[in-house]
Structure 1
């Protein structure tokens, strides 16, 4: 079984059920499956073959879903790309990923014009029309011989297309991880990886045909791809596709469509909590909220649950694991601050530097094993060998496990701050500051210090413009050992974030280094 064949089976079983709603429009499962088939057929007519690489430069749209499943049905390998990346960032991924076909909004045409000479392997540009009034004259473009519209491709596709046989080990998707150093690495996820993780997540969270899933996380990101797109679709649920996150829009859509599940990163929950017009009754149909992508501060989790009377199940994952390895279970007590227990079919373990499992309660590196673990990094055998050892994926995250099998992320291995030989975990300091009633957001990182090697630096967004650094430092001194107290607390209007809402510590660190 794979994602494409499961969609076909679902369409045959509940074809008239809504598969998604998007900006006032909707599609049944039968209509979605037919569009997927025609798209796959249209690609084949363009000369795209099984194993060819197709990049998607699309936001949260039905075209993303159709392109993804259509390419998979053809046996092509999909490379989702953040459409707001710069030309250099996109160019690197398209070149390194050996992309032959690009599917994107017509807004990408000027970018394609700029890059196409550097990308001779790209044979096709499939353009999704946005209906803008400033579209370029396509007949004058140098890429026009390679260009076709999404609408035309669907129209010429055949409904009789069957597609090739797909093996579990065939690469379905290559996800370029953002990484913290060097160029992004392409994690190769197979059909077996993606299907098993979507299926296991669906089972673990009891996702079913009655669920209406708010899909506002970026579809090009693995968190959304598995948890808020693939898992609902293989379960017969309905996607409520939101083009971009907006607190007001989330409350409105949840109320209008009686949403049952919301998935987001901690920053999204913070924005929803701070949104003054948000009412608990707007979210009363939610049976579950899911958090991932970054550790959620305990204070934020508790305040959100108290205000909106809904449970947040925090989980953990990474691109290389398709991505989910842990979730807080729904059939037993949730432990605040924990990422939960291993989902079915996946093993998590905490080990020391020698790869030996450490006793309960001790901190070590989290490693993962299961059918969800990637095949490897594209064209990077050395990196693959350093990351996957004896079938175990080394995550680079520091964690501990308690006596009940619940895991807790302590911090990123590389984010530890060494203050005079003492380890300081940024998350511990962040948790303290988040507990201050006038603090909205926090980021803590290590900065160079001539006396102690590193010092703790904190960046804070406050709801009270009168709050002072000395007040917060005094607050920290009541809850933290002296060496853990920030050397400085800087107030910002907002913290830098990527398109998934994850706080960019690297941008803050760069800011500090440039100011010194």
Structure 2
């Protein structure tokens, strides 16, 4: 079984059940399945074949659900991408990912103009109409002629569609994650990876056909993909799709549709807690809140639970594990500050530098084993061998386990910054700054931030005294997604270094801590 075959089965058994709600319009499983089949057939008529790669560069919408399952039904490999990425950031992933087609919004097509000539495998851009003013570039035909409307692909497709027989080891999704070297790595997730993790999460958290799950996390993020999208769809639940996170809208749809599950990153919980629109009645129908993507401060967790009278289950995951490995259980004590225990069918353990398991209380690297662990990194054999050793995925996160089998993250991957649940690697930001003609040296670090968990700040050495902070910030905005842009920039005569000349980020962090 896989997630798209399970969707077809649910649609046959419960065709009139509501699959999702978007802008207060309900769509049944039968209607969704019909569009998925026609979209898959429409793609096939365009020349897409099993094994081809297609990118989803979309915000939260029915387009995403239909596009994802239509592509998977045909046996395509889907590459979800953040629509906030700049052309520079998208170019590498689209080219490295051998993308044959892109599904995107009309208001985003401008982003592909600078890079489309450098994408030799690209044949089609499928345009989802947003209802907003379309870019001048489309009107002026600056892009290739192979631009089709999403609805046109569906209209050209036929129902029923009998796609290829998929097996568990077939590649389903490639998730690009920022590498410590600044070069993104494509984590290859199979149909087995996606199905097993979504079903195991659903079993662990008791997600079923009676649940109405608010999908406010971005769908391109694997947290949302598994917990808010696949888990409810596998079990006949209803997804309440929000185009973007808004505390006011979360409270509204929770009341209007008697939502039962909400999943978010700690930043979202902080905004909900601070919003004047919410009160204890706002989430009266919720049976469960789920937090992941970053560590949730214990004080925030306790304040949120007290304010809204709902329990928050904190968990842990990573793209390479599809993503969930741990969650605080619902039928046993929840431990604040812990990422919980092993979910069904997944084993976590803490090991030393040579891979030996450590006893409870000792700190080591967290490693994971289970049917959810990725196949490897796309076209990166050495990185795959380093990450998966003797059947265990090495997460790079330092952790400890207590006597009851609850895990605690002690430290994160070296130098990584978490901004609102999104990974930011300093090297990636530094490479952008180094491309500025006046920057001689740069070091990027993360500092605590009450709103986003951490904020990006940069220290630079320049050879031109006329260069100002605003100049460099504006420069970085041209090449980086908003959450990666430094919040502030400090100018130094020289960056701290060790005897070998390596820049000491820890020294800079210590200066911030002591200032």
Normalising by the smaller structure, the TM-score range is 0.7 to 0.9
Corresponding position: 1:169 with 2:162: no
Written as runs of structure 1 = structure 2, the 5 A alignment for 1:421-436 is none
Corresponding residue number in structure 1 for 2:507: none
Tell me by how many angstroms 1:91 deviates: 1.0
Corresponding residue number in structure 2 for 1:68: 68
Corresponding residue number in structure 1 for 2:58: 58
Corresponding position: 1:222 with 2:222: yes
Corresponding residue number in structure 2 for 1:109: 109
Written as runs of structure 1 = structure 2, the 5 A alignment for 1:475-486 is none
**For the residues of structure 1 that align with 2:482 and 2:124, how far apart are their CA atoms?**
33
Corresponding residue number in structure 1 for 2:335: 335
Contact 2:127/2:148 (<8 A) preserved: yes
**For the residues of structure 2 that align with 1:40 and 1:204, how far apart are their CA atoms?**
32
Corresponding residue number in structure 2 for 1:152: 152
Corresponding residue number in structure 2 for 1:324: 324
Contact 1:19/1:32 (<8 A) preserved: yes
**For the residues of structure 2 that align with 1:183 and 1:411, how far apart are their CA atoms?**
23
Corresponding residue number in structure 2 for 1:254: 254
Contact 2:217/2:263 (<8 A) preserved: yes
Written as runs of structure 1 = structure 2, the 5 A alignment for 1:272-291 is 272-291=272-291
Q: 1:512 to 1:362 in 2, by over 3 A?
A: farther
Tell me by how many angstroms 1:108 deviates: 2.3
Please give the secondary structure, in 2, of the residue aligned with 1:127: strand
Written as runs of structure 1 = structure 2, the 5 A alignment for 1:387-466 is 387-415=387-415, 459-461=448-450
Tell me by how many angstroms 1:276 deviates: 2.1
Tell me by how many angstroms 1:133 deviates: 3.2
Q: 1:306 to 1:6 in 2, by over 3 A?
A: same
Structure 1 consecutive aligned stretches of length 4 or more whose deviation exceeds 3 Å:
133-140, 456-462, 501-504, 510-516
Written as runs of structure 1 = structure 2, the 5 A alignment for 1:86-105 is 86-105=86-105
More displaced stretch, 17-26 vs 370-379: 17-26
Deviation digits for residues 122-144 of structure 1, max 9, x if unmatched?
00110001122344474742434
**For the residues of structure 1 that align with 2:347 and 2:116, how far apart are their CA atoms?**
44
Tell me by how many angstroms 1:25 deviates: 1.6
> Which runs of 5 or more structure 2 residues have no equivalent in the other structure?
419-423, 427-442, 452-475, 496-515
Deviation digits for residues 268-313 of structure 1, max 9, x if unmatched?
0011111123111011000000000001011100110011110000
Tell me by how many angstroms 1:398 deviates: 0.7
Contact 2:102/2:126 (<8 A) preserved: yes
Corresponding residue number in structure 2 for 1:295: 295
Deviation digits for residues 379-431 of structure 1, max 9, x if unmatched?
00000000000110000111111111111111114159xxxxxxxxx99xxxx
The two structures, once aligned, show a CA RMSD in angstroms of 2.5
Contact 1:251/1:282 (<8 A) preserved: yes
**For the residues of structure 2 that align with 1:410 and 1:379, how far apart are their CA atoms?**
32
**For the residues of structure 2 that align with 1:17 and 1:458, how far apart are their CA atoms?**
47
Please give the secondary structure, in 2, of the residue aligned with 1:283: coil
Please give the secondary structure, in 1, of the residue aligned with 2:115: helix
Corresponding position: 1:11 with 2:11: yes
Q: 1:503 to 1:103 in 2, by over 3 A?
A: closer
**For the residues of structure 2 that align with 1:412 and 1:137, how far apart are their CA atoms?**
43
Corresponding residue number in structure 2 for 1:236: 236
**For the residues of structure 2 that align with 1:355 and 1:251, how far apart are their CA atoms?**
46
> Which runs of 5 or more structure 1 residues have no equivalent in the other structure?
417-425, 428-442, 446-453, 463-495
Deviation digits for residues 340-369 of structure 1, max 9, x if unmatched?
100111000000111101110111100000
Query: Normalising by structure 1, what TM-score?
Result: 0.82
How many positions carry a matched residue from both structures? 444
Corresponding residue number in structure 2 for 1:375: 375
Contact 2:106/2:134 (<8 A) preserved: no
